Amino acid sequence: MNYRFSARLGNFSSSAVREILKLTQGDSIISFAGGLPAEEHFPATAVAEAFERVMRQGNKALQYGLTEGFLPLRESLGKRMAGKGMNVTPDHMLITTGSQQVIDLLSRIYLDPGDVVLVERPTYLSALQVFRSYGAVPVSVSGDKDGIDLDDLKAKLEQYKPKMLYVIPTFSNPTGRVWSEERRRGAIELCRGANALILEDDPYGELKFGDASRNYPSMFSLDKHPDDSCVVYTSTFSKTVAPGLRTGWALGDAEVIRQMARAKQAADLQSSSLDQQMLHQLLEYFDLDGHIEFVRKEYEKRMKLMADLLRRHNWRGAKWEEPKGGMFFWVELPEEIDTAELLKSAVELGVAFVPGITFYADNPQRNAMRMNFSYNDEAGTVTGMDRLTQALSAVLV
């Protein structure tokens, strides 16, 4: 057969890094590469009980549901969101197949080929892939440890007149950084002035370390909302319950949500009814906040362990900050080190990470690496860091 794939397929990049990371699936490799939660901490018993409750309701539990999402789940999630300063009705919420689908659906309804999307530098790889798949052009905006650089944002809003800014302001993937409130407010003001929609991606906001009362208000909560908001907010159950459920949500202006629901109908009709009903039961009968508190503490321990090991191994010229939450360390090595090259020798020694080059919309930095600390247990992290130090010793002479 002479398959006649669409021209659009050319926008789905393949990458050498992805090919190497495919080799890291086996048990012999310790992977710091994925953004994976710790399996041993999934609330498996509570999930099983919640499924049982759903099934006791009879066969209707297995029926098709609304594209917008299971109404009781939207209501219970609405209450959770109100606790975080985001006041919405079910009409301002769409339940999706993970946050990834929010990025996809918003791109479908908002972006035309050639449109510029401003993104952070560096940013989430799979968002770049989505924007490019629709022919949009991601352009990066500089930032520092306090978030996006407002001068650069202003300049790029003027230069490119972008329709959208995509950001991860709380415990970013890949850098683990968190924006100050001043940067959040500043970016909202600039984007509102330039009529650019902000997509605020917040999968990690609940995973904060240290003082639990410390708040990092979402940009959606800081902006006028829910209607006429210049922010569309997305979060997910992937990092707080389990990613296999593939359930996330979007909050936004009712018209934006309505258009996204139309696109969702074409994409997959709805997200799994069963999973949504189970999650509703979980929110009603399970102490999700207690569980999140437990997971936060466990991840903080794992983060501290990796920080200790980074200090102990003391890689020459390495720069990194202790993240205040989330799942990642962002380590910058001396400029002459190409971490994509380093990955090859690391995988041979049985350890993997993601080279920084994959996270840039443009002008990639080659000497950085993203390291996940949430997935491996203590023994795995210690051995993985030993192996990585060995791989580095060959290049950091």
Of the candidates 181, 187, 268, the one whose C-alpha atom is nearest the C-alpha of residue 216 is 181
Residue with structure tokens 């929010």? 102
Is 203 a binder of ligand PLP (CB under 6 A)? yes
Q: Residue 48, SS3?
A: helix
Q: How far is the CB of 203 from ligand PLP (least distance, A)?
A: 5
Task: Determine the interface stretch with ligand PLP among 65-73, 96-104, 294-302, 344-352 (rule: CB under 6 A).
Answer: 96-104
Is 243 a binder of ligand PLP (CB under 6 A)? yes
Q: How far is the CB of 24 from ligand PLP (least distance, A)?
A: 16
| Torsion sign over Cα 117, 121, 124, 128 | positive
Is 124 a binder of ligand PLP (CB under 6 A)? yes
Q: Rank residues 67 and 238 by Cβ distance to ligand PLP and give the closer one.
A: 238
Is 133 a binder of ligand PLP (CB under 6 A)? no
Binding mask 156-195 for ligand PLP (x = CB under 6 A): ------------x----x----------------------
Is 271 a binder of ligand PLP (CB under 6 A)? no
Task: Determine the interface stretch with ligand PLP among 14-22, 94-102, 152-160, 375-383 (rule: CB under 6 A).
Answer: 94-102
**Cα 251 from Cα 87, distance rounded (Å):** 9
* Helix or strand run (H / E) with residue 200: strand 197-201
Which one of residues 67, 218, 238, 339 is an interface residue with ligand PLP (CB under 6 A)? 238
Of the candidates 396, 324, 393, 387, the one whose C-alpha atom is nearest the C-alpha of residue 367 is 396
Q: Looking at beta carbons, which pairs linking 151-154 to residues 24 or more positions away fall under 8 Å?
A: 153/118, 153/186, 153/187, 153/190, 154/190
DSSP string, 235-270: EESTTTT-GGG--EEEE--HHHHHHHHHHHHHHHSS
Q: How far is the CB of 312 from ligand PLP (least distance, A)?
A: 28
Is 323 a binder of ligand PLP (CB under 6 A)? no
Q: How far is the CB of 95 from ligand PLP (least distance, A)?
A: 11
Number of residues that bind ligand PLP (CB under 6 A): 13
Q: Rank residues 122 and 203 by Cβ distance to ligand PLP and give the closer one.
A: 203
Q: Rank residues 99 and 367 by Cβ distance to ligand PLP and give the closer one.
A: 99
- Tell me which DSSP letter residue 353 carries: -
Is 100 a binder of ligand PLP (CB under 6 A)? yes
Going by their DSSP bridges, the two strands 116-120 and 164-167 should be labelled as: parallel
Contacts of ligand PLP in 24-83 (CB under 6 A): 35
Residue with structure tokens 């999402």? 69
Q: How far is the CB of 257 from ligand PLP (least distance, A)?
A: 17
**Cα 153 from Cα 131, distance rounded (Å):** 19
Q: Which residues pair with 118 in a beta bridge?
A: 139, 165
Q: Rank residues 315 and 360 by Cβ distance to ligand PLP and give the closer one.
A: 360
Of the candidates 138, 142, 151, 111, the one whose C-alpha atom is nearest the C-alpha of residue 260 is 111
| CA–CA–CA angle 342, 346, 348 (5° rounding) | 125
**Cα 333 from Cα 337, distance rounded (Å):** 6
Which one of residues 162, 176, 248, 355 is an interface residue with ligand PLP (CB under 6 A)? 248
Is 98 a binder of ligand PLP (CB under 6 A)? yes
Q: How far is the CB of 255 from ligand PLP (least distance, A)?
A: 24
Is 104 a binder of ligand PLP (CB under 6 A)? no
Is 205 a binder of ligand PLP (CB under 6 A)? no
Q: Residue 124, SS3?
A: coil
Q: How far is the CB of 291 from ligand PLP (least distance, A)?
A: 17
- Positions that interact with ligand PLP (CB under 6 A): 35, 98-100, 124, 168, 173, 201, 203, 236, 238, 243, 248
